[in-house]
Every structure is written in structure tokens, then in C-alpha cells.
């Protein structure tokens, strides 16, 4: 069975084609600058790579272009697009209405439209991509895997804010969370690596990239999460502030900033970039800090400090903690940041194993703490696309 996984942004389409027999990736790529004269398709298959200038005015044309490449005699991996038996879509926000993976129909599309106000940067392009894919592949089942689904198990004491009931019932103000597909994948994978059933796993999972989030997992289910109504709450991120006193927003508006100005600054000019003043890229910041840049070093300290605070908070609400799990671009690849994180957890008994930390790179999973460590810290690479492909296979052809 072949499953086509699609992840659409406002001007991009990321894709992977899986053979689900052995969960092999047959082809993958990204179409960038969709709708412009500089639209470019980066495609990889059979150990080769291509960079192609394409004409694609919208998501429908972009997906048709990608499908043409997948059946191309030189670059493709299929004889016909009829070999695709299911299309899996990364969907961002299903509100409170969708709490799992679903076959896409008009009612699902309407939920995505209705929740666009809660995810204005993500739901509209996701919807455009789904509709484009359904137009390009009208006879194939389409499946939506929502980022919010894994986090729908948060109890009211965790997902509600202490605001008037009307704000919740009429305006849907609550914690929804994001990166749920990644947190679900690493939960299942870590449980497997620990020799446990998923329902036995008690973990603190940390997805650390340009966007960062953490989840407390008890018995395989999410019970708390760092992001909130939007992806702005929680950890210090590449360009997002994370936790902040809400009155700061009102204060800055009183100083002449418009709501749009404050939104832009908190989401795009804060975080590591805002504190350091030089970059949101962890590699650049580490180099700057080593060279004596105090603002860059402060940004790194704040990044690690916020993670340690969330670990401490989640540690207290779990029945036990089998492991803290690091994933995402930073969690999987930045040895110095992983070192700082483990050392920040020394009060909980975490002891870094330098050799393990150095070896757990390039897609390798494993612990980076010593066997004697009272708190285990693991690195487990995430694979959201594979999670989407598995869900799609299950929905189209149940095992």
C-alpha cells in the first residue's frame, strides 16, 4: 500500500510517499514559493535529488505538479498515481470537535474553516492544501491527522484558564496545544524502546525546534502541555516569547503599539532572536556565546531555564517519570544544549553521560544519561510524517 503524506503551508507543500509494506519512504520533497514566478520543487527519490523550476499558481496546481513528478520516467517511483491508496494530511486545529484522526468529508472541512480564527496562520493553508489534493486525487480517501488530537485528553484543570466561564463556552478560550503528532510519535516510540506498552508510559516529552513545546504524558495520554490557545504560550522559542504576563500586551498598547504590532513582536521578533539580537538559530547563538556575546549566552540560559521549570512542574503531576524525552531539530542535534538541559536537571538526579550524548545523533535514539541517573533523559527522533502515514493506512485499510 502506498500513502501520500501532505503538509501545506501558505506558499509551500511538503510531501512524502510511503510504501507501507516496510514503511519505506519512496520519495520526498518540498515545493517552495508557491504562486510566484520563483516556484521551485526540491524532489528526492532513489538516492537522487532534483531542483526544478515549476509553474504552480495555487495548491491544486502544485500538487498536480508533484504527482506528475512522482510518475515521471526519470524522477518518479510509480507507474501511475492510481497506486496511491490514501492521502494523509497534517491538519493543525480541530478545536474541541475533532479529537482523533478522521476521514475527510465536508463536515471535517467545515470544522477546519470554523477553527481558522484559532489558528489563522495554519488552518487556511492546510485547508487549501487539502482541497487541492482532493481535486488532484478525487477518487482516493483523504485522511486528516490533527496536531491538537493527541492533546485533547488534557483534563479541564489543565486545559481551562481561570477566566469567566463565558469566555470558554462562547469564545472557546482554553489550552489546545500543538505539535501533538510529534509528541504522540515519540511517546509511542519511547515506550517501545523502554519495553513498555504505550499505556504504561509516563514521560515528559520536549519538542525543541524553532517552535518548542512540552507535554506531560501519564499512561500514554497527554495530561498537560506547554502551548495554549495559540502556539505562543510556554517555552522560549526561536522567535516567540513563550510565557509572558498578559498585562505586558496592554502596557505596550498603552505605549503606542497596535494589537497587530504586539502580535508581530511576540510571535516573530521575540524568543531567542529578541533576547540575543542576532539570531534565532541555535547554532549561531552557540557560536556567538562562545565568542563572548553576553546577550546570546543569556538567550541560551533562558531557553534551558524555561525547559527545566516545565520539567519540574510536570514531574510533580506524574505518577512517576520514566524519562524526559528530547526531540525536534534542537533536541535531536544540539549536543551543547542537551548537555545544558541535563545539567539543569541535576536536582532531580539527572547525570549526563558525555559519550552517550555524543553518540546519539543523526537519527539515533537512546539515553544520554548514565545508568545510575535517577532521572533518565532520552533523545528520540520524531517522525510526524510516518505517524500520519500509519494513521492513514489504518483509516483506509484497517489491520
User: 345 is written with which cell numbers?
Assistant: 536537571
Task: In whole angstroms, give the CA distance from residue 48 to residue 139.
Answer: 30
Residues 204/190, Cβ–Cβ less than 8 Å:
no
Q: Which residue has the higher pLDDT, 156 or 126?
A: 156
pLDDT tens digits for range 244-287: 999 999 999 999 999 999 999 999 999 999 999 999 999 999 99
pLDDT tens digits for range 76-128: 999 999 999 999 998 888 888 888 899 999 999 998 888 777 777 777 888 88
* 147 tagged catalytic: yes
Domains of the chain with CATH codes: 2-146 (3.30.420.40), 196-384 (3.30.420.40)
CA of 200: how far to CAs of 97, 222, 223, 378, in Å? 27, 13, 14, 17
0.85 cut: is pTM over it? Answer: yes
The reported pLDDT for the residue numbered 333 is: 95
The reported pLDDT for the residue numbered 399 is: 67
Residue 27, helix vs strand vs coil: strand
The reported pLDDT for the residue numbered 303 is: 98
The reported pLDDT for the residue numbered 66 is: 95
328, pLDDT greater than 70: yes
pLDDT-based confidence at residue 158 (cuts at 50, 70, 90): very high
Question: Region 187-198: what's the mean pLDDT?
Answer: 97
Residue 8's region, left for phi above 0, alpha for psi from -120 to 50, else beta, is beta
pLDDT tens digits for range 21-44: 999 999 999 999 998 999 999 999
Question: Region 236-251: what's the mean pLDDT?
Answer: 97
Which of 147, 297, 322, 353 is an active site residue? 147
Q: In sequence order, what DSSP letters do the residues of 173-208 get, joined into one string? A: -S---S-HHHHHHHHHHHHHHTT--GGG--EEEEEE
pLDDT tens digits for range 17-26: 999 999 999 9
Task: In whole angstroms, give the CA distance from residue 137 to residue 64.
Answer: 9
pLDDT tens digits for range 343-353: 999 999 999 99
Amino acid at each position: 500500500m502506498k500513502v501520500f503524506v501532505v503538509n501545506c503551508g501558505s506558499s509551500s507543500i511538503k510531501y512524502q510517499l510511503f510504501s507501507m509494506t516496510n514503511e519505506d519512504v519512496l520519495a520526498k520533497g518540498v515545493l517552495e514559493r508557491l504562486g510566484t514566478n520563483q516556484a521551485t520543487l526540491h524532489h528526492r527519490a532513489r538516492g537522487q535529488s532534483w531542483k526544478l523550476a515549476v509553474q504552480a499558481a495555487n495548491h491544486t496546481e502544485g500538487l498536480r505538479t508533484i504527482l506528475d513528478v512522482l510518475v515521471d520516467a526519470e524522477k518518479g517511483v510509480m507507474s501511475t498515481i492510481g497506486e496511491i491508496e490514501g492521502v494523509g494530511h497534517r491538519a493543525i486545529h480541530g478545536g474541541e470537535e475533532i479529537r482523533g484522526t478522521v476521514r475527510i468529508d465536508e463536515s471535517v472541512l467545515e470544522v477546519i474553516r470554523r477553527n481558522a480564527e484559532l489558528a489563522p496562520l495554519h488552518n487556511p493553508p492546510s485547508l487549501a492544501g487539502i482541497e487541492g489534493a482532493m481535486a488532484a486525487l478525487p477518487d482516493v480517501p483523504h485522511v486528516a491527522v490533527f496536531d491538537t488530537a493527541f492533546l485533547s485528553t488534557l483534563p479541564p484543570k489543565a486545559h481551562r484558564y481561570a477566566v469567566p466561564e463565558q469566555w470558554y463556552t462562547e469564545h472557546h478560550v482554553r489550552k489546545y496545544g500543538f505539535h501533538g503528532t510529534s509528541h504522540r510519535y515519540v511517546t509511542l516510540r519511547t515506550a517501545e524502546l523502554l519495553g513498555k506498552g504505550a499505556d504504561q508510559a509516563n514521560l515528559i516529552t520536549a519538542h525543541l525546534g524553532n517552535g518548542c513545546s512540552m507535554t506531560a504524558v501519564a499512561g500514554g495520554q497527554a495530561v498537560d502541555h506547554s502551548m495554549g490557545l495559540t502556539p505562543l504560550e510556554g517555552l522560549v522559542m526561536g522567535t516567540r516569547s513563550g510565557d509572558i504576563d498578559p498585562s505586558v500586551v496592554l502596557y505596550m498598547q498603552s505605549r503606542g503599539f497596535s494589537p497587530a504590532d504586539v502580535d508581530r513582536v511576540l510571535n516573530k521578533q521575540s524568543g531567542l532572536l529578541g533576547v540575543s539580537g542576532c539570531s534565532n538559530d541555535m547554532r549561531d547563538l552557540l557560536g556567538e556565546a562562545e565568542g563572548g556575546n553576553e546577550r546570546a549566552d543569556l538567550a541560551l540560559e533562558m531557553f534551558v531555564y524555561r525547559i527545566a521549570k516545565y520539567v519540574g512542574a510536570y514531574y510533580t503531576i506524574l505518577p512517576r517519570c520514566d524519562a524526559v524525552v528530547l526531540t525536534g531539530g534542537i533536541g535531536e542535534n544540539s549536543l551543547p544544549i542537551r548537555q545544558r538541559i541535563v545539567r539543569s536537571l541535576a536536582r532531580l538526579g539527572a547525570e549526563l553521560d558525555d559519550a552517550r550524548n555524543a553518540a546519539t545523533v543523526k537519527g539515533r535514539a537512546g539515553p544520554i544519561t548514565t545508568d545510575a541517573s535517577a532521572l533518565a533523559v532520552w533523545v528520540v527522533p520524531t517522525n510526524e510524517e510516518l505517524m500520519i502515514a500509519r494513521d492513514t493506512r489504518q483509516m483506509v485499510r484497517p489491520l
